[in-house]
Structures are given as structure tokens and as C-alpha cells.
Amino acid sequence: MIVDIDLGSLTMLVVEGGNYDRLLIRSVLASFGAGAVAEAGDRAAAIAVLAQRPIDLLVVDRDSGGVALVRQIRGGDAGCRVDLPVVMVSGASGGEVVADARNAGVDEFLAKPVTAESLYRRVRAALLTPRPFVQSEVYVGPCRRSVERQLATGDRRVNPPLPRPEPRLGAEPAEPAGQGQSRTSHRRFSAGTVIFREGDPADEAFVVEAGCVVISRHLGGRSVVLGSLGPGGIFGELALVDEDRRTATATTAEETTCMVLPRRALGTQIARSPDLVVLVLETLLRNIGKMGRELVEAHARLHRHQQPD
């Protein structure tokens, strides 16, 4: 998946009652390059946020009062513009559930579990290819028709849809050649793939989204496993602050998907941060690297101790 639009000027709101799901969606939106991501745990908290600051895109969970919130927005009673793009996520995806969301006026519907790729497709569609907006006595929201056709009974809408709105964002131009990758991306690796080897140049870190990655180091003439990482694990993180080479080898134990974090992508994000935050982040990463090297040395000493004389 390639993030091909610049979301840096947009503020998004995540409404989700589950702490884990809210953190996941917020983190994924931030990885897309969203300028700011606000959050709320329920409908009341969301209304408070909408009244306080302009929001450019709403991602709302159906079970956190999502349908009622969307109806309130489309009715003009939420303190924000009625045509606010809305992506609804839901643990249920039956026909009645989807129809209820559609009739409330959502732009895009996404069944859980949410993945970065599926969420990006919905966000991109809501921003770049918005449907004509309908304002009638019985319905306010994106046009619910997938195709335009002439009905025998005529158009039953009180008001026709407004002209298709302009995309809220334009496709971002390609990066100049030779400057390196500056956006996060996602890669899928088959089982047994060496993602990087000890001694390789280091210019990007990885976050495991699905699968398992084994970290090993060559010691005493053989490969020694230092540990394994599952979903949520991060490896190669020293590449984000250090120009050095890889100190270990990363190999997939099964089919694995990773979010890739180039050094330039982190630089773009922290450029907006206070100097103190940058200093703390770099210090933490270097401390992690120091502990990693000490762990490798401990493994080497243990390996030598276990060898027969």
C-alpha cells in the first residue's frame, strides 16, 4: 500500500469506545500522515470535540453511538458542517446494519477487523472521490445510488443531488528521484524471507502488523536467535536516528506483513515537534540500541560458556 495523498493539513476525529481499537485507528491515521488526530470515546465526547475545533474527516464506530452521531451531523445539530466526510467502522456487517449506516448518511462503511490498507481505501475514497451530496426533506447525506438511472416513476427524491463536489485533496506528486522514501508503506513477506541481514545499510524501521519475525545474530561461527516479534513489535528502530549498519538479521517465521517506517518519514513528523520531544525520542532509541548490543554480548558470553572445553 502506498500513501499517495498528503493528509498533513487535515484534522481527523476517531470516535471509538474501545481503548485498543481507538488507539489502533488513531495510530494508523497518523501513519498515513494526518496532520492531527483527535479522539473521543462516545457520542457526547465527539459532539464536544466537533464544537471546539474544525474536523475534516470523521472515523466513527457504529457501537459507540455512531449512527445517532451521523444523523445529528447530517441534521445540522452537531456544530460542524453537514457534509463532513464520515467513515463508519462496525463489528457487524449484515445487510440491515449496512443499510442503517447508509440511511444515516455515512460516506464509507468498513467492517472490523480494521487493517491499515482497508481503512486507507475508505479514507481515500471519502476525500478524493466524494459522491454527490443530497439535501432533501427525508434524507441528507452522500447520494446512496451507485449508478444513475431513469426510473419509470420518475425521480423520487424531493431535491436532486447537488453537483459532485471537488476532491478535498489532490493526488500528491511523486517524490524527486534520489531523495529516498519519505512515507510509510506496508510490505508483505512470505515465510522464510530475510528482511535485512546483519551488516546491511540501515535506513528504515519495521512494525509487525501480522505474522512473526525472528531476530538473530552471527556469533561464534553460527546463527544465534535473540528473540521473536509478533504483531505490534518494532525492529530495526535504530535506523531512524543512527546512520550505522544493521546489527542483527531479521527473518520471517511465517507470512508476515509489516509497516515500513523510513528515516525521512520520521524526520517529517518530528520536524513539527518541540526540540525537547526530539531529544527524548532520540535518547530513548539510542538507549534501546545500547541494551540490544548488551543483550547480544550476553548471548555471546553464554554461548562461549556452554561450549565444551
Whether the Cβ atoms of residue 13 and residue 39 lie closer than 8 Å to each other = yes
Distance CA 172, CA 4 (A): 6
234 and 289, same domain (yes or no): yes
Q: Count the Cβ atoms, other than its own, within 10 Å of residue 114.
A: 20
- CA neighbours closer than 13 Å in the CB half-sphere of residue 66: 31
- Domain of 276, CATH number, reads 2.60.120.10
Q: What is the pTM of this model?
A: 0.54
- Asked if residue 169 lies in contact with residue 6, where contact means CB atoms within 8 angstroms, the answer is yes
Looking at the fold, whether 15 and 137 belong to one and the same domain comes out as: yes
Same domain, 135 and 196: no
Based on the domain organization, do 135 and 194 belong to the same domain? no
In a domain, 167, yes or no: no
83 lies in some domain: yes
The verdict on residue 28 lying in a domain is: yes
Q: Is 88 within a domain? A: yes
Q: Which helix (H) or strand (E) holds 24?
A: helix 19-31
pLDDT at 137: 85
The least confident of 13-17, 69-73, 83-87, 238-242 is: 238-242
Model confidence band, residue 179 (pLDDT cutoffs 50, 70, 90)? very low
Q: Under 8 Å CB-to-CB from 164, ≥6 apart: which residues?
A: 130, 131, 132
Domain count, the chain: 2
Q: Among 142, 174, 197, which residue terminates a domain?
A: 142
Percent over 90 (pLDDT), the chain: 39
Calculate the average pLDDT of the chain. Answer: 81
Residue 133 in domain: yes
- Averaged pLDDT for residues 116-143: 88
158 in a structural domain: no
- On the question of pLDDT at 177 being above 60, the answer is no
CATH of the domain at 122: 3.40.50.2300
Residues 128 and 5: their CA atoms lie apart, in Å, by 9
Judgement on whether residues 204 and 258 belong to the same structural domain of the protein: yes
Domain span at residue 121?
11-142
